[in-house]
Structure 1
Amino acid sequence: MPKKENPLRQLPVSSDGYGDIKIHLAEILEEKNISLNQLSFRTEMQRTQLRNYRDNKIQRLDIDILKRLCYVLECNLTDLIEYIPPEETQTLQ
C-alpha cells in the first residue's frame, strides 16, 4: 500500500517564501480623498503609526488598529489587506 501524502505544505526556509501581505491604506485614502492628518484625528492614532501602515512598513498587524481603520474608513478588512501568495510575489519583483 503506497504511503499517503501529507496534504499540508511544509514551511519555506525563510519567511520571504510565505508570500506577502499588502495593505491598501494609501489607495483607500486617495479614493476617499482623506489625508493622513484627517485619518489620524478620526482614528485617534499617531500619524507616524498610520504612515507605517500606509507605506507597508509594519511587521505585525494590530487587530484594534485594523478595526479602527475599517470603522473610520467604512471598509471591509478584505478591502484593507490582501494576501499575495509566494508565486505571485515572485512575479511582482
Structure 2
Amino acid sequence: MENYGSIEVKIDEMLEKRNLSKNKLCFKAQLERKQLNKLYKNEAVRIDFGVLCRICFALDCDISDILIYKKPE
C-alpha cells in the first residue's frame, strides 16, 4: 500500500496558547468530548469541515495552526 503521509492534529498546542481547557473548547465549538478526544489523540479517521470551522472559530486560529501534513518518510 502506498504511503501518502499523514495529518497531525495540533489542538493541544493551540489550547495551551489560548489557555483553554478541553471542556471550554467543547462548549465553545459545540463538540462532544468523545469527538474532541479522538482529534486530540490523532485517532480520528475522518473530520467534518464544519467541526474544523467551529474549532478554528473557537480557538481564533487558522486551519494550518491545528492541522499539519507530514510527508511520508
Please confirm whether the aligned pair reaches a TM-score higher than 0.5, indicating the same fold. yes
- Runs of 4+ aligned residues of structure 1 deviating over 3 Å after TM superposition are none
- Which runs of 5 or more residues in structure 2 are unaligned? none
Q: How does 1:78-93 map to 2 (within 5 A)?
A: 78-87=64-73
TM-score, length basis structure 2: 0.92
Q: Which is higher, the Rg of structure 1 or of structure 2?
A: 1
Matches of 1:54 and 1:82, distance apart in 2: 13
- Which runs of 5 or more residues in structure 1 are unaligned? 1-12, 88-93
Helix, strand or coil for the counterpart of 2:15?
helix
Larger relative contact order (C-alpha < 8 A, sep ≥ 6)?
Answer: 2
Identity %: 36
TM-score, length basis structure 1: 0.74
What is aligned with 1:18? 4
How many residues are treated as equivalent by the alignment? 73
